[in-house]
Structure 1
């Protein structure tokens, strides 16, 4: 009887313990559905919706490696060996639709290593809404007329300033006409030192054959002005040509917008598509002080996203303190993503 009672008691205890453990068992929650990234095609390729929002984001950038040799195209002084620069650029472009139009924020950060020296910069950080823009980016005096062409050393004859804080408004019509008005802070020796900003205004007309653009800027520090006019012509799908002229009010002194030497300067050039992978770019610039700058390169796409760009530069100076002629070259390797 003792053995029977012991067995029955043990069985009862086991059932009780098992029941208690069953009551305390961990319940595994059902996995939540995964929210995959959705493509946003409203603003072009590369945009996707930020999960849980109606904002579209594009992350892009490039990694670049430049090697220069020969004379410096800008000042004629020869290089002591090679001039080498490595750069990484990361860009963020966020856009969404509002009752006031497209709301956009754009930022670009650059890290580079030039001749063993670390450098950082923030060339772009601005907000746009309904045609208004506030923040830092290239001066509209340079960008409104679309810079020059795809030449690395394209500003040996300078065509205007680059990074500056600014506020501007762009009107875009439906017939190819657009207009710009804005104020800028300046940079370097031309940063505003009172309550009066620099002023810039422009207009352009673009069609399938090309376009005409004009821009003018008033420097409130030097109290001088400068202006440029550009003509673009597309000669079919393979050839595009341009010519641009600039004039400033005081040819003896530089101002924030008229950064070339002398009263006037002229630029011209074009791009020629040779094959699906190769494009030839050429440019010549001349300024009233006598400097002539010419450049020729080939942009070759090795594989999609990776290009090699060898370029030759020639500058003829009219200055007693530098060599009369300067010959140099540069090779650029760039991977875009």
Structure 2
């Protein structure tokens, strides 16, 4: 009887507790609010707000596949086979507004596989605030006046150095005028070896018809200087033309073409909504002539195929041979 009473009592207690719990309301945690990504149109297409911040971010880049054949327009050496390179480039552009102006950070990482070998590089990683910039990117001696046309073999006759650590300031006026002053570290044999940096200065005037720009660079290692002047003209809505001239005191970090002077010229013709013809020719004081022609064809939005032919007639210190080569570039931009 004691055991029976104990079992009956336990069952009654269990039923009572279960009933009491069933009577209580079921509490479900409130879902966390979802913060959707918002478009940021203050800096152009592709930017969005990083959730929880006032910083706008754009992620972009490209995947590229190049196939070369013939003779190298840079060296005159016969390739002997196809030269193939695959490259992936990823870019991050973050911007926000502050009481001192726009704060921007920009970084680009490249990974490429060329003829069986991998390589990585960091061509861009800099910070901007207002008109100030610090970090690594192409030398202002090159980028200030602009690259020499939409040609793949654009620097067979070199027009200046590329990636370098730098500090610079750009003043932008309201009438199309801008000016630049900066210091740079250099690369290779031209890396500064004391506290005197390379110096770059430039000025530019831009209007609807085109622009006029000039830049000068002082090499602190060789103590030599070089300068360039460029004219860009928008002849029509479909045709744009440019001419660029450079002069140097002696060979230096900035004056790296052969001879005292060099000239580059070319243009682009938008033949249709999807096809653009680009041409360029260059000559340096040492006697070398280089020319290239391509057609950039956008097969579908974001995917461009560019076949190009390039010819170089070497002279002076570069020999006396001719070189004729071709390349086909497949590029998917995003």
* Normalised-by-shorter TM-score class: over 0.9
CA distance in 2 between partners of 1:325 and 1:84 (Å): 22
Number of the residue aligned with 2:306:
309
- Cα displacement (A) at 1:236: 1.4
- Cα displacement (A) at 1:17: 3.2
Query: Which deviates further from its counterpart, 161-170 or 4-13?
Result: 4-13
Give yes or no for contact 2:266–2:281 (8 Å, CA) kept in 1.
Answer: yes
User: Are 2:18 and 1:18 aligned?
Assistant: yes
CA distance in 1 between partners of 2:193 and 2:24 (Å): 74
Instruction: Give ranges in structure 1 of 5+ residues lacking alignment.
Output: none
- Cα displacement (A) at 1:12: 2.8
CA distance in 2 between partners of 1:26 and 1:319 (Å): 90
CA distance in 2 between partners of 1:303 and 1:286 (Å): 36
Number of the residue aligned with 1:174:
174
User: Are 2:293 and 1:296 aligned?
Assistant: yes
CA distance in 2 between partners of 1:45 and 1:277 (Å): 20
CA distance in 2 between partners of 1:11 and 1:331 (Å): 85
Length-normalised TM-score, structure 2: 0.95
Number of the residue aligned with 2:270:
273
- Cα displacement (A) at 1:145: 0.5
Give yes or no for contact 1:77–1:322 (8 Å, CA) kept in 2.
Answer: no
SS at structure 1 position matched to 2:142: helix
1:80 to 1:25, Cα distance in 2 relative to 1, 3 A:
farther
Number of the residue aligned with 2:233:
233
1:80 to 1:322, Cα distance in 2 relative to 1, 3 A:
farther
Give yes or no for contact 1:41–1:47 (8 Å, CA) kept in 2.
Answer: yes
CA distance in 1 between partners of 2:277 and 2:86 (Å): 24
Query: Which deviates further from its counterpart, 323-332 or 167-176?
Result: 323-332
Length-normalised TM-score, structure 1: 0.94
CA distance in 1 between partners of 2:67 and 2:101 (Å): 44
Number of the residue aligned with 1:219:
219
CA distance in 1 between partners of 2:198 and 2:23 (Å): 77
CA distance in 2 between partners of 1:272 and 1:95 (Å): 34
What is the RMSD computed on CA atoms of the aligned residues?
A: 2.1
CA distance in 1 between partners of 2:317 and 2:109 (Å): 40
Number of the residue aligned with 2:144:
144
The match for 2:321 among 314, 320, 324 is 324
- Cα displacement (A) at 1:130: 1.0
Residues 271-330 of structure 1: CA deviation (Å, up to 9, x unaligned): 000000000000000000000000000000000000000000000001487452100000
SS at structure 2 position matched to 1:37: coil
Number of the residue aligned with 1:263:
260
- Cα displacement (A) at 1:33: 1.6
Structure 1's consecutive aligned runs of 4 or more residues displaced over 6 angstroms after TM superposition are: 4-8, 23-26
